[in-house]
Structure 1
Amino acid sequence: MSGELVLVRKGAYYDSVTLMRVSRALTELPGVAAAMVAMATELNVAVIRDLGFTVPEAGPSDLLIALRAADPDAAVAEADRRLTGFQPQETAAEQPPLTTFSAARTPADLVLVSVPGEHAFAEALDAIQAGLPVMIFSDGVSVARERRLKELAEEKDVLVMGPDCGTAVIGGVGLGFANVLTPGPVGVVAASGTGAQQVTCLLDWAGTGVSHVLGVGGRDLSAEVGGLSTLRALRLLDEDPATELIVLVSKPPSPEVARMVREAEERLRTPVVRALLNEGTDLTAATEEALRVLGRPVPEWPSWPAWSGRTAPHKTIKGVYSGGTLSAEAAQIAGQGDFVDYGDDAYTDGRAHPMIDPTLRVEALARARDTDVVLMDVVLGHGADPDPAASLAHAVARTPATVVVALIGTEGDPQDLHRQAAAFREAGAAVFTSNAQAARHARSLL
Structure 2
Amino acid sequence: MAIKIETFKNMYQDSVSLMQISAHIGKLPGVEQASVVMGTPANLAQLADAGLGNDVQASPNDLVIAVRGDEVACEAALRFAHERLSARASSEEARTSEALAPTSLAMACDEQPSSNLALISVPGDYAAAEAIKALQLGMNVMLFSDNVSMAQEKAIKTLAREKRLIVMGPDCGTAIVNGMPLGFANVVRRGGIGVVGASGTGLQEVTCRIDQLGAGISQALGTGGHDLHEDIGGISMQFGLDALAEDPDTCVIVLISKPPARAVAERILEGARKAGKPVVVNFLGAAEEDMRAPGITPAFTLADAAQFAVALLNGAPLPASVARVEPQDEARLAKESESLGAQRKFIRGVFAGGTFCYESQLLCRDAGFTASSNTPVKGNVKLADIWTSAGHTIVDMGDDDFTRGRPHPMIDPTLRDERVRAEMRDPETAVVLFDLVLGYGAADEPAQGLIATLTRIRAQAQGRDLPLLIAHVCGTQSDPQVRSRQADALRAAGVLVAGCNAEAALWASRVARMQAQRHA
**Identity, % of aligned pairs?**
39
| Matching residue of 1:89 | 93
- Give deviations 1:248-304, integer Å, cap 9, x for gaps: 011111111001111111222112110111234111222232233232475999999
| Matching residue of 1:371 | 428
| Matching residue of 2:447 | 389
Kindly indicate whether the alpha-carbon contact (under 8 Å) linking 2:15 and 2:122 is maintained by their aligned counterparts in 1: no
| Matching residue of 2:501 | 435
AA in 2 matched with 1:186: I
- Give deviations 1:345-397, integer Å, cap 9, x for gaps: 44444443221121321221132124222211111112211210122333344
How far did residue 166 of structure 1 move?
1.1
Q: 1:406, 1:178 → 2: CA distance?
A: 17
Residues 23 and 201 from structure 1, CA distance in 2 versus in 1: closer, same or farther, beyond 3 angstroms?
Answer: closer
AA in 1 matched with 2:415: L
- Give deviations 1:24-67, integer Å, cap 9, x for gaps: 5446656x354524336444444446xxxxx3512675432334
| Matching residue of 2:460 | none
Corresponding position: 1:355 with 2:414: no
Corresponding position: 1:288 with 2:307: yes
Structure 1, 193-202 or 389-398: larger mean CA deviation: 389-398
Q: 1:115, 1:422 → 2: CA distance?
A: 38
- Give deviations 1:146-175, integer Å, cap 9, x for gaps: 111100001111011111111111121111
Q: TM-score, with normalisation over the residues of structure 1?
A: 0.89
How far did residue 133 of structure 1 move?
0.6
AA in 1 matched with 2:481: Q
* Aligned residue pair count: 438
Q: 1:218, 1:247 → 2: CA distance?
A: 16
Corresponding position: 1:130 with 2:137: yes
What is the root-mean-square deviation of aligned Cα atoms in Å? 2.9
Q: 2:153, 2:97 → 1: CA distance?
A: 35
Please list every run of 5 or more consecutive structure 2 residues that lacks an aligned counterpart in the other structure: 38-42, 288-299, 372-392, 458-465, 513-520
Structure 1, 336-345 or 212-221: larger mean CA deviation: 336-345
Kindly indicate whether the alpha-carbon contact (under 8 Å) linking 1:18 and 1:86 is maintained by their aligned counterparts in 2: no
Please list every run of 5 or more consecutive structure 1 residues that lacks an aligned counterpart in the other structure: 50-54
Residues 33 and 71 from structure 1, CA distance in 2 versus in 1: closer, same or farther, beyond 3 angstroms?
Answer: closer
Q: 2:71, 2:269 → 1: CA distance?
A: 60
AA in 2 matched with 1:390: Q
Q: TM-score, with normalisation over the residues of structure 2?
A: 0.77
SS class of match (1:208): coil
Runs of 4+ in 1 over 6 A off after TM superposition: 299-307
Residues 404 and 145 from structure 1, CA distance in 2 versus in 1: closer, same or farther, beyond 3 angstroms?
Answer: same
Q: 2:245, 2:254 → 1: CA distance?
A: 11
Kindly indicate whether the alpha-carbon contact (under 8 Å) linking 1:378 and 1:405 is maintained by their aligned counterparts in 2: yes
Structure 1, 117-126 or 342-351: larger mean CA deviation: 342-351
Q: 2:507, 2:22 → 1: CA distance?
A: 36
Kindly indicate whether the alpha-carbon contact (under 8 Å) linking 1:35 and 1:68 is maintained by their aligned counterparts in 2: no
Residues 99 and 79 from structure 1, CA distance in 2 versus in 1: closer, same or farther, beyond 3 angstroms?
Answer: same
Q: 1:92, 1:212 → 2: CA distance?
A: 35
- Give deviations 1:298-356, integer Å, cap 9, x for gaps: 59999998995562343222221122222111100011322222223444444432211
AA in 2 matched with 1:81: E
Q: 1:350, 1:150 → 2: CA distance?
A: 30
| Aligned partner (choices 257, 266, 282) of residue 264 of structure 2 | 257
AA in 1 matched with 2:502: A
Q: 1:419, 1:208 → 2: CA distance?
A: 21
AA in 1 matched with 2:357: S
| Aligned partner (choices 479, 489, 509) of residue 413 of structure 1 | 479
